[in-house]
Amino acid sequence: MGSGVRFGGGKRQSKRQTTKLREKIKKKVRDHGRKLKKDIKKHPEKYRKSKKDPGVPNDHPFKEQILSEARDVVAKHKEYQERRRIELKEYKAKAKENLAHSLKGQSLEALMAKAQHKAKVFDDGQGIQESAVKKGLSDKSAKAYYKEFRKVVDAADVVLEVLDARDPMGSRCKEVEEAVMSGSKAGKRLVLVLNKADLVPRENLLAWMKHLRNEYPTIPFKASTQQTARLGQAKINMKQVDQVLLQTSKCVGADILLSLLANYCRNKQTVHIMLSQVRTAVRVPLRRLSTAVADAGAVAPKPAVKPDCAKFSSGPCKKRPGYTVAGLAGAALGRSHRHKIGKDKLAGAINLTRDLLEPVGLPADYHIGIVPASDTGAVEMAMWSLLGPKPVTCIHFESFGGDWYTDITKQLKLTNVTNMQGDYGVLPDFSKVDFSNDVVFTANGTTSGVRVPADVAIPADREGLTICDATSAVFAQHMPWDRLDVVTFSWQKCLGGEGAHGMLILSPRAVERLESYTPPWPMPKIFRMTKSGKLNAGIFKGETINTPSLLATEDYIDALEWSKSVGGYEGLVGRSNANLAVLEQAVAELDWLDFLSGPDPTVRSNTSVCLTVSDLDAAGCKKMAALLEAEGVALDIGAYRTAPPGFRIWCGPTVDTADVAALVPWMRWAHDEVKASA
């Protein structure tokens, strides 16, 4: 039988391959091997085979006993973890309860008094820092000096101000005294200690004591000069003592000081503890402030309490507290958005939005519509439809506002455009804006942490239109609604909704422009807002231009209903402000942390809070973020890719204040870990 012929009579198929196919397979094998080697080198732990625990040999004489002990250890560990979880839950609940109790029932007058008190404390602090700078300290050192001083004062019940008896007024600091007496803790005591009492004439000492006691308790003092481990005290009546007796080597004035401190105590137990501590302190040389600052800079311990939710992303943002997908059970899935049920859902989302915005100033004759492509689509829709008949001023101070300027000049190719650009963290001067032009600006810089104040001066009789990209401002910040002709935002920011859909709000002036002006460029279908020269009113009643997601719509409705339950728009603003306040306190306490927006609180964002770290570079900040993510306490908080190194922490209304407060100690720990490893 000839070659290549099978018994069945058919011709056998050859297994030979073409050279091209064979070489292609070889190349793929080589590429795969090369990639595998690189990955093994980069992530060896993925390919390292862990040795299997052989367990306890069957012939071991105490096998059952060992296994029983191991089971007991595992059970005890699980019991400890459960007990720890319950304790942390109770601790957080207690903290929330205490916070609510402290704020409950406070009158407007009490809140104003508290604010005025804080302002006074801040002014006093500025005076102390300025004094430190005059004495030769740098601004940074003065800030660290004041923070440490504030910690000591807040923790103390009694503050001793040590004066030099040879020049009491020259060694006295009025700013310190005012800061102590106006501190947050009521009932603080300030005692003046006239040190080196043996170096001035007795008559001068008594005269100074009489003068100073008109203001605060004053005690003469002379430190011990004994060269021995057992220091002694001399009990001397300063009014009757002769100058020669003051030359003793023993300590003079300690007994009076201890008696005074004892009188400030409430009970005998406190007296005993306080006296024992004071006696020890008298024998120990006082440390310099620089040493105290160094001690304060020791590596922070690893915190025990983590945020309940580690999601601090600036978009898409955290869902509302208590969110579950079960809340979307009413979604009109599988139904047409042109059917009544679909239109009702879309119209319901628009009406709920109006219910939240009108009480805080949105005029009733403004149109609200749902448009494609999130906030980006809404902004582009407005610019392509409205810009052209007037010169344009574009105000931008972060990346997305820069994109609008690029589209105006490169895509729409408008030539009469004024570019008002601010660096990251710097708000351009709105007083220089010519509102006879059409003005395009961002209300809140999501990547820069800067916002436009609600009281920005926009004239009511302006000739041009104001187009405001407010995606991370609406539902968290107050806005000059009646001065804005176009407002855009998305569902995914302040209310933690889903992406893909945007909201477009038009004033009557914007509608008039739409109906009287036809742009010279081709208009894409998803940008068309007019029919036969008139506003397409259906867009603002739930008749969307393209097919919407009714699941995302239901999610947005769920967030709007929750917003009403927390006090409406004002409640949402309050939640964001409370979150910002936690980070403001952290910046006040940590000398290496600061706001990218600078010291002006009026331009500081309360949603996308951007922070800088003064003693770490970009690599150090990334290490901090990686540590926090590895611990599961903060996700997606790195600065925007084109922004200065630092952090961007979302503090919108869906974020719980307790989670922000729990994050701060972890940030300090991560910072100290990175510094220690450098």
User: Is there a contact between 477 and 443 (Cβ–Cβ < 8 Å)?
Assistant: yes
pLDDT confidence of residue 294: 36
Work out whether strand 438-442 and strand 534-535 pair parallel, antiparallel, or are unpaired: unpaired
Compute φ and ψ for 613, nearest 5 degrees: -115, 115
How does pLDDT run across 226-260, given as a tens digit for each residue?
555 555 555 555 544 555 445 666 777 777 777 77
**Alpha carbons 331 and 658: distance in angstroms, whole number:** 32
How does pLDDT run across 461-479, given as a tens digit for each residue?
999 999 999 999 999 999 9
Q: Which domains does the chain have, with CATH numbers?
A: 109-295 (3.40.50), 325-565 (3.40.640.10), 568-677 (3.90.1150.10)
How does pLDDT run across 351-400, given as a tens digit for each residue?
999 999 999 999 999 999 999 999 999 999 999 999 999 999 999 998 88
User: Is there a contact between 634 and 666 (Cβ–Cβ < 8 Å)?
Assistant: yes
User: Within 13 Å, how many C-alpha atoms sit on residue 314's CB side?
Assistant: 24
Q: Can you spell out the DSSP letters for 473-527? A: TTTTS---GGG-SEEEEESSSTT---SSEEEEEE-HHHHHHHHH---SS---GGG
pLDDT bracket for residue 132 (50, 70, 90) = low
**Alpha carbons 497 and 503: distance in angstroms, whole number:** 12
**Alpha carbons 534 and 520: distance in angstroms, whole number:** 17
| Helix (H/G/I), strand (E/B), else coil: 623 | helix
pLDDT confidence of residue 10: 63
Helix residue ranges, H only, 11-62: 19-42, 44-47
Tokens found for residue 498: 């889903």
Which residue has better confidence, 284 or 413?
A: 413
How does pLDDT run across 295-306, given as a tens digit for each residue?
444 567 888 889
Distances (CA, A) of 519 to 514, 515, 570: 9, 11, 39
| pLDDT over 70 (residue 5) | no
The whole-chain average pLDDT of the chain stands at 84
| pLDDT over 50 (residue 87) | yes
pLDDT confidence of residue 138: 62
pLDDT confidence of residue 273: 39
| pLDDT over 60 (residue 1) | no
How does pLDDT run across 633-656, given as a tens digit for each residue?
999 999 998 899 999 999 999 999
**Alpha carbons 228 and 231: distance in angstroms, whole number:** 6
pTM of the predicted model as reported, rounded to 2 decimal places: 0.60
**Alpha carbons 249 and 632: distance in angstroms, whole number:** 60
